[in-house]
Amino acid sequence: MRKMDGVLARLAATAVLQYRVVSVDANGKFIYPTSTSLPFGATLGAANAGDSLDVQYSDIAEIEVGTGGVALDSYVKAGTDGRIVTAATTGDKIIGLPLESGVEGDVISVLLTRAKV
């Protein structure tokens, strides 16, 4: 495990793409978030299961937008594919605040701010 300013390297439990939000599983490996897991940060590269993966957990990260797009000045959460969507439901686990609007497939800047709506 390597740690540098705002970045943590751990093994990926499954294949993970770049610019996606991940959580940490019970074994300390990175996975895409589930409906009950807390988002940890954004991937800086892609990895296969068992490979080391760098994840940014603070500051401003680049993250891919999922279905429905996101608007500036909204809270975003991670979908189960690790892409961000607008958080709208009480209990949603927030990964951050987008610094720009985006449509599905865009990679946008997000201020990482983990919270719960």
pLDDT in tens, 33-58: 988 889 999 999 999 999 999 999 99
Contacts of 83 (CB under 8 A, 6+ apart): 20, 21, 63, 64, 65, 66, 67, 104
Query: 2 in a domain, yes or no?
Result: no
Number of independent structural domains in the chain: 2
CA pair distance 44, 58, nearest whole angstrom: 12
Same structural domain, 43 and 83? no
- Expressed as residue numbers, the domain containing 16 is 7-56
pLDDT in tens, 52-96: 999 999 999 999 999 999 999 899 999 999 999 999 888 899 999
Average pLDDT over residues 90-115: 94
CA pair distance 13, 51, nearest whole angstrom: 8
